[in-house]
Chain A
Amino acid sequence: MMLNLAPNIADPDDFYAELVNSQRNLDEEQALRMNARLILLLANHIGDRTVLTEAIARARAAG
């Protein structure tokens, strides 16, 4: 499987707001810790190692 880079989230604005709002009352450390948990949860859901590798590489390159 390849990393899906086409739009795939049904209600993008709603998703984005949910993500940002979920960290509204967190300080930076708490937010980074939450991000770490979120990445692990999502990574496990994806599972596919080639997809994960591609996602890590893309995320890193964009930075």
Chain B
Amino acid sequence: MTNHIYPKFGYLRSKEQADGVVKRHPIVVIGAGPIGLTAALDFAARGQPVVVLDDNDTVSIGSRAVCYAKRPLEIWDRLDCASPMVDRGVSWKVGKVFFHDQLSYQFDLLPESDHQWPAMINLQQYHLEEILVAKCRANPLIDLRWKHRLISLKQPADHATLAVETPDGIFTMEAEWVIACDGANSDTRKMVGAEFTGQFFQDRFLIADVAMKADFPTERWFWFDPPFHPGQSVLLHRQADNIWRIDFQLGWEADPDAERQPERVIPRIRAMLGEDAQFSLEWVSIYQFACRRIDNFRQGRVLFAGDAAHQVSPFGARGANTGVQDIDNLAWKLAMVLRGEAPEALLDSYHEERAYAADDNILNSTRATDFITPKTKVSRYFRDAVLELAQHHGFARPLVNSGRLSVPTPYATSALNTPDEDFAIGEMRPGTNAADAPISVAGKPSWFLHCLGDGFTVVTFGKATDKTGIAIGPLAAKIIRVGRDIEDPSGLLAARYGASPGTTYLFRPDQYVAARWSGFDETKIIEAMLRATGQDSARHPAGQKELAA
């Protein structure tokens, strides 16, 4: 059916398999989906060599992820791949929800201007993965190994032992750390015996990718009970290359084998687009959705990320989007542990923060799915009542839930945060990902997020210090002074950070706020850095020595 030509990356026998020697690698990633590939790029960006194993030798086949949100684009920009994604994809920010044939609710994901990246782009998952693979291949620290299937994993005291199957047979590798990105059916998860529990929804969806020239605007359109598909919902998205994604809700009774046949699919699309519509089918699948999560993201030396750690229904586009943020959270922590700059306990905060985010995503995705597929007759009456009332009354519109689109979950309760002490201006609380803003550097326009992300960064407004860096033992942060190192000509940076002279923020390497103060105080900054790296400053020997000096 498809016209897309999927690349074949080709199998290569590794030297270690050919030589029959067991090699120990610092980091082995299982799975080269969007999350495993992002992991490889982030570890490499933080100076760590990484081996990636994938049981296949191509990209994601068929209809999977479409929408990528602003935060993952910011992360991919840190890894130097966001521009080709945005160029290849289509950007959008407006969503419309229709009931019957009338507009009932509309949202704008980024009503504010002056951000580098769009609220959302749509791009076929296979295009996205091709961009990531090309970046990985160009990076000498990344060793991508196709047709390498993990078949067993054991964890002796200080490493993991992996049995890997290739076209040349089975060989053994060792890893100090394993990053399991092998998807919702993760073999690795079964190998470590972790629980993966949650909820399956009693409904089926026909997901069709359709090639056509159409004049729908580049917006997300969602219908409840439209005349062309009575009693069910429909979702329409534009993708790259004049490919459109159409999701038809079918109900639990639908026969998946019959429904995927073109003679059943084509009339459904015709009913939607009109008798004369010119289109061809690219891909058709039938899905049942689930929301589940692993009990602990860290299982000894194995760290789970992406769908291997959590699965969500796609209403809200929270799958890959949140998986990329798992990696953003993990990569700097593991790199610091490997360099001996932070204790291994820092890795437990990976579970703490990302399980918290996964629960938030699951909550949002479950609520949307329950709205789209009411579980009982009476809950359907409530759902329909919301839709009916929303046509006439503003109050009901925010209750309409066709999916709340992916936004980052602030780590509000994280032990790595230093709580606000003396001021609480604005929304940039500890545990929040940094807001971007236009700035200028040496007279040239740039973006604030480009200043953050290599390591810890202190940003201070005003003239409180002449230093350019701060260090404690192996921990270091660069200091950026607004007015010296960067300029804020529009004032938007100060506005978004509620800043006045003296305001000082400490950002983590993943661009999250670790702490903020109304003045610049080195002792407090050092305490906050220790805390953000999982170290108790009171008991930290280096901390005591330096602080006493």
Contact = CB atoms under 8 A, between A and B. Distances in A.
Interface string A26-59: 0001001101110111001000000000000000
B374 to A, nearest CB: 11
Contacts of B389: 37, 40-41
Contacts of B388: 37
Contacts of A33: 381, 384-385
- Chain A CB within 10 A, most for which of B385, B395, B396, B399: B385
B378 interface: yes
Contacts of A44: 395-396
B257 to A, nearest CB: 34
The number of chain A residues touching the other chain, given as a range, is: 10 to 19
B283 to A, nearest CB: 38
Interface string B16-44: 00000000000000000000000000000
Interface in B374-430: 378, 381-382, 384-386, 388-389, 395-396, 399
A36 B396 contact: no
B384 A36 contact: yes
Most chain A CB atoms below 10 A, which of B382, B388, B399: B382
A36 B383 CA distance: 9
Which 5 residue pairs are nearest across A and B when measured between Cβ atoms? A36-B385, A36-B381, A37-B385, A44-B395, A36-B382
10 contacts: A29-B381, A33-B381, A35-B381, A36-B381, A39-B382, A39-B385, A40-B396, A40-B399, A41-B389, A44-B396
Contacts of A35: 381
Interface of B is mostly: helix
Contacts of B399: 40
A55 B284 CA distance: 46
B96 to A, nearest CB: 22
A33 B378 CA distance: 8
Contacts of A32: 378, 381
Nearest to A32: B381
Highest count of chain B CB atoms <10 Å: which of A29, A36, A39, A41: A36
A44 B389 CA distance: 12
Contacts of A29: 381
Nearest to B386: A40
A44 B381 CA distance: 17
Contacts of B395: 44
B342 to A, nearest CB: 40
Nearest to A31: B381
Nearest to B390: A40
B380 to A, nearest CB: 9
A36 B135 CA distance: 53
A22 B388 CA distance: 19
Contacts of A39: 382, 385
A34 to B, nearest CB: 9
Interface string B506-537: 00000000000000000000000000000000
Most-contacted residue by chain A among B381, B384, B389, B395 (CB, 10 A): B381
B346 to A, nearest CB: 37
Given A29-B381, A33-B384, A37-B388, 12 more contacts: A33-B381, A35-B381, A36-B378, A36-B384, A37-B385, A40-B382, A40-B386, A40-B389, A40-B396, A41-B389, A44-B395, A44-B396
A27 B389 CA distance: 20
Contacts of B382: 36, 39-40
B104 to A, nearest CB: 14
A40 B397 CA distance: 12
Contacts of B396: 40, 44
Contacts of A36: 378, 381-382, 384-385
A26 to B, nearest CB: 13
Contacts of B381: 29, 32-33, 35-36
A29 to B, nearest CB: 8
Nearest to B383: A36
A35 B381 CA distance: 9
A44 B384 CA distance: 16
B39 to A, nearest CB: 40
A51 B399 CA distance: 18
B549 to A, nearest CB: 52
A33 B382 CA distance: 7
A50 B382 CA distance: 21
Contacts of A40: 382, 385-386, 389, 396, 399
A40 B381 CA distance: 11
Interface in A3-39: 29, 32-33, 35-37, 39
A24 B21 CA distance: 84
A62 B395 CA distance: 29
Interface string B226-238: 0000000000000
Contacts of A41: 389
A25 to B, nearest CB: 18
B393 to A, nearest CB: 8
A35 B297 CA distance: 44
A29 B381 CA distance: 9
A56 to B, nearest CB: 12
A44 B392 CA distance: 14
A9 to B, nearest CB: 22
B377 to A, nearest CB: 8
